[in-house]
Amino acid sequence: MKETILAVDMGSSNITSVIATNNNKQVDIINISSTQSLGIKKGTIVDIEDLFLALKNSVETVKKDNSIEINKTVVSLCGKDSLNIKSSGKINIPDRLVTNREINQLLQICMYNASIPYDYEMIQLIPKLFIIDGVQTVNPLSQAGNNLEVYVNIIVVKKNLLANVKNMFQRLDIFNVNFVLKSYSSLFSLTNLKQRMRGIAVLDLGSQTSEIIAIKGATFLFNDFIAIGSQNITNDLVMMLNISSSDAENIKLQYSNLLTNYNELDNKDCTLKVESNIDSINLSNIQTIVHARVEELLVILKNKLKNSGCISDLEEGIIITGGLSKLKGIKELANKIFEGIPIVIQNPIEDKNSFNDLDESIISSSIGSINYIVNFDDRIELDSNKSLLINRSIQNNNNQQQEKPKPPKEEMILTPLQPKGVSKLKDLYKRFVEIF
């Protein structure tokens, strides 16, 4: 059955919206919009009206000339106010055959058993291990047994954050919103099943924040957030070089380089002038400032991974993405800091896209959110609406009693989709999938 998905990434620097259609897992991107994010600073809402106007602009832009019925909406959230809580549960299997009913019942029990702080709410429940009659399994569906137990990770975020975001979408007449952790959704645009099974981490180095997540098989190993990003480099350049913010941003974008040895160049080749400073600026000084901040960031992330105890599980290494991943020389620096762990610089779309030169590094979370909703063959979860996500092909072949899916609480009827421009966009997702 064909459905239309709206995916929104509410970042500190950009709000990115993607509309896509899913027809039996054949996904076509209809449109993409990225607008400046206002009202969020380092992952925290500081002005909800400014944020609403930015969100409205992004959503209305992505729906322009594409007025269709949106069946699902998924929003990726920053990990700043998230917690990872462990829980477990056990049930008897009445008919000695595991169906969706038993899995759903068991996961709901895990959520009930969990010690979730009163001001937090679950957005994802991720099983890491099922056990049937003492035998471990990743997917127990259609297996026979007497007892079924599970160990899970539950991702929770602040209730106030969810309430504020839901209210903003309701003001746009969009209801039944689903939430996913931003770093988790990025996994599904940057990694394939083999990488996730063998163990991999993703470092998303953004403008104001950086997030890290590690996964192996069905086990959610670790996730964390720090309020350091490329904007800190701009601030460092302003302070150390006594220049304006606009000049510092331009210098960062044009001259940041961790590889070139400026001391070996002629003096005329390694200085520049800016309007906000009467003196010439040596490029080696810029390199020193940038290097210090990036090194600090990578060392912090390495120590977090090391303290989590999961570095040895990362057989596929580490993927670096986000705007800062484009810094020349960051891979070489990361290789030194992470000491032998394979490092890959990767974004979801490697070839030139047709979205007005849209930076592909800022859409990984939105593309991943679509994958999160559409492709869950390798996992079982409860989503933020407490609904069971499970492989539909297995589900449809299961002859046992199933719970009937609940219809959406509300649906929005829009005017028909305009065909203009669709031909440029429909192959984007297919090109992205071919990478993996």
175-223 pLDDT, tens per residue? 889 999 988 888 888 888 899 989 999 999 988 889 999 998 877 888 9
* Span 273-287, average pLDDT: 74
Candidate from 58-67, 184-193, 268-277, 364-373 with smallest mean pLDDT:
268-277
Q: Is residue 109 within 8 Å of residue 91, measured between CB atoms?
A: yes
* Span 98-115, average pLDDT: 95
Burial class of residue 110 in the structure, from the number of CB atoms within 10 Å of its CB (0-12 exposed, 13-18 middle, 19+ buried): buried
**Per-residue confidence (pLDDT) for residue 11, from 0 to 100:** 80
pTM: 0.79
Q: Is residue 30 within 8 Å of residue 66, measured between CB atoms?
A: yes
| Cα distances (angstroms) measured from residue 185 to each of 42, 212, 282, 325, 412 | 19, 12, 41, 18, 25
Where does the pLDDT of residue 315 fall: very low under 50, low under 70, confident under 90, or very high at 90 and above? very high
Strand, coil or helix: 30 = strand
**Per-residue confidence (pLDDT) for residue 198, from 0 to 100:** 93
**Per-residue confidence (pLDDT) for residue 279, from 0 to 100:** 66
Please state the φ and ψ torsions of residue 123, each to the nearest 5 degrees: -115, -20
**Per-residue confidence (pLDDT) for residue 65, from 0 to 100:** 63
DSSP 329: T
Could you tell me whether strands 72-77 and 177-181 are parallel, antiparallel, or unpaired per DSSP bridges?
Answer: parallel
**Per-residue confidence (pLDDT) for residue 346, from 0 to 100:** 83
**Per-residue confidence (pLDDT) for residue 256, from 0 to 100:** 86
Strand, coil or helix: 230 = helix
Where does the pLDDT of residue 405 fall: very low under 50, low under 70, confident under 90, or very high at 90 and above? very low
Where does the pLDDT of residue 423 fall: very low under 50, low under 70, confident under 90, or very high at 90 and above? very low
Candidate from 184-188, 218-222, 326-330, 353-357 with smallest mean pLDDT:
353-357
**Per-residue confidence (pLDDT) for residue 358, from 0 to 100:** 52
Q: Is residue 157 within 8 Å of residue 77, measured between CB atoms?
A: yes
**Per-residue confidence (pLDDT) for residue 409, from 0 to 100:** 42
* Span 227-243, average pLDDT: 91
11 vs 134 pLDDT, higher one: 134
Please determine, for residue 254, whether its predicted confidence score (pLDDT) is greater than 80: yes
Residue (of 135, 136, 126, 139) closest to 98 by Cα position:
139
Q: Which fold has domain 82-156?
A: Dna Ligase; domain 1 (3.30.1490)
Please determine, for residue 145, whether its predicted confidence score (pLDDT) is greater than 80: yes
**Per-residue confidence (pLDDT) for residue 166, from 0 to 100:** 95
Strand, coil or helix: 86 = strand
* Span 335-355, average pLDDT: 74
**Per-residue confidence (pLDDT) for residue 416, from 0 to 100:** 40
Determine the Cα–Cα distance for residues 315 and 214; give it in Å rounded to an integer: 11
Beta bridge partners of 203: 212, 320
**Per-residue confidence (pLDDT) for residue 274, from 0 to 100:** 67
Determine the Cα–Cα distance for residues 156 and 120; give it in Å rounded to an integer: 6
Determine the Cα–Cα distance for residues 216 and 132; give it in Å rounded to an integer: 21
What is the rounded average pLDDT for all residues in the chain? 82
Where does the pLDDT of residue 320 fall: very low under 50, low under 70, confident under 90, or very high at 90 and above? very high
**Per-residue confidence (pLDDT) for residue 146, from 0 to 100:** 96
Determine the Cα–Cα distance for residues 226 and 244; give it in Å rounded to an integer: 26
Determine the Cα–Cα distance for residues 347 and 361; give it in Å rounded to an integer: 5
Where does the pLDDT of residue 270 fall: very low under 50, low under 70, confident under 90, or very high at 90 and above? low
Determine the Cα–Cα distance for residues 191 and 204; give it in Å rounded to an integer: 13
Please determine, for residue 148, whether its predicted confidence score (pLDDT) is greater than 90: yes
339 vs 421 pLDDT, higher one: 339
Strand, coil or helix: 131 = strand
Where does the pLDDT of residue 351 fall: very low under 50, low under 70, confident under 90, or very high at 90 and above? very low
Strand, coil or helix: 156 = strand
**Per-residue confidence (pLDDT) for residue 402, from 0 to 100:** 38
